[in-house]
Copies of this chain bind each other. A is one copy, B any other.
C-alpha cells in the first residue's frame, strides 16, 4: 500500500511536511522533492536530494504535496495540472484553488467526507482558518453557529522562513545597538529597513496581513470568511476577522467570540469541545503559542459565556501554524487518501 510522494517546495511548510511524513511513518514508496533549484537539505538529521522542478520528472507520483507559502502565487498554478494529468492526486497548501467549486477544501476533523469528491486536486485551507474551524466545527455541528468574530495573533513563520528569521535578526540588531544595556534609554528602533514586513515586528504588532481590498478587509481576513463558510458548509454564518502579526516565531493564537443558533450552556459547549477530534480543551489551564510549537493538536482555553448576551461565548485557540495550520493538515489529507 506504499505511495509514491512528491513534495514541491522546501520553505517553512515544505520542511515541515518532510518532517511529518517521517514522524507519522507515512507509507512512502518513492519520494521526490522539488524546488526552484536543486540542492541537498537536511531535516532532523536526514538528508533530502531536492531536484529543480521539471515536468519530465512528474511520472509515477501518486500524491503530490504542494507546500506553497501563503501570499505568493503557488507553484501549483504552473504544475498541479501536470501532476494530475500524470495520475497524481494533488494536495495544495496555496491559496489559488481553495474556493474553486470542484476543489474540496478540507480539514479532516471537520469535513473529511469532502475528500472523496476530489477531481485530482484537494486544497489545504489557510492556517488561520484551519485552527478556527477545528475549534468551531464541533460547536457548529451541535448548536449551529450564528456568528463568529475573530482576532488573530499570527506568527512570523506564517510569512515564510525568511520572515521568521528576520524577526530573530531584528532582535540581534536591537541587542547589538543597546550594548550598554541601559534599560531606561533603550533604542528600540532597528536602523535597517525591515526585511520581512512593512514595519519592524520586534516589540510591535502589525494589524495588516496581506493586501487591503476595497471594503477595507485584508486578503487574510477575507480568507477566514470564505474558507470557514466552505469548510463548515454554511455561508449564512456571519464571520468577521481582524488579522494581526505579532513577534512570535511559530503558532497562531486566536481570540474568538461566537454566538450559537440553538440554545447552549457553557457545559454543552465544553462537552462538544471535549469530544472534538484533534483538539485539546483546557478547562482551567491556558495555552500559549511558544509552548504549542511542534505540537499537533489545536489547543482551546478560556471558554466562557458572555453574561449579557444569549448563547454568546469566547474562546482562546492556539495551534502550530506550520503543522496543523499547514503541513500536518496536508499530510492528514494524504493519509485519508490511502
Instruction: Find chain B residues with CB under 8 A from A208 CB.
Output: 286, 302
Interface check A255, CB cutoff 8 A: yes
Interface check A303, CB cutoff 8 A: yes
Cβ B175 vs Cβ A171 within 8 A: yes
Interface check A128, CB cutoff 8 A: no
Smallest beta-carbon distance A237→chain B, Å: 9
Q: Type the 1/0 row for A268-308, where 1 means its CB is closer than 8 Å to any CB of B.
A: 00000000000000000011111101000000011111111
Cβ B175 vs Cβ A304 within 8 A: no
Cβ A204 vs Cβ B248 within 8 A: yes
For A206, A207, A246, A301, which residue has the most chain B Cβ atoms within 10 angstroms? A207
Instruction: Find chain B residues with CB under 8 A from A168 CB.
Output: 183, 186
Instruction: Find chain B residues with CB under 8 A from A249 CB.
Output: 186, 188, 203
Question: Count of chain A residues with Cβ under 8 Å from any Cβ of B?
Answer: 60
Interface residue SS majority, chain A: mixed
Interface check A316, CB cutoff 8 A: yes
Interface check A200, CB cutoff 8 A: yes
Q: Type the 1/0 row for A304-324, where 1 means its CB is closer than 8 Å to any CB of B.
A: 111111001010100000000
Instruction: Find chain B residues with CB under 8 A from A309 CB.
Output: 147, 238, 240
Interface check A143, CB cutoff 8 A: no
Cβ A286 vs Cβ B206 within 8 A: yes
Cβ A253 vs Cβ B286 within 8 A: no
Complexed CA–CA distance, A287 and B171 (Å):
21
Cβ A207 vs Cβ B255 within 8 A: yes
Instruction: Find chain B residues with CB under 8 A from A304 CB.
Output: 215-217
Known: A208-B302, A302-B208. A172 touches B172 (CB 8 A): no
Cβ B153 vs Cβ A286 within 8 A: no
Interface check A199, CB cutoff 8 A: yes
Cβ B308 vs Cβ A189 within 8 A: no
Complexed CA–CA distance, A240 and B302 (Å):
13
Enumerate chain A interface residues (CB-CB to B < 8 A).
147, 149, 151, 153, 164-165, 168, 171-172, 174-175, 181, 183, 186, 188-189, 198-200, 203-208, 215-217, 238-240, 242, 244, 246-249, 253, 255, 257, 266, 286-291, 293, 301-309, 312, 314, 316
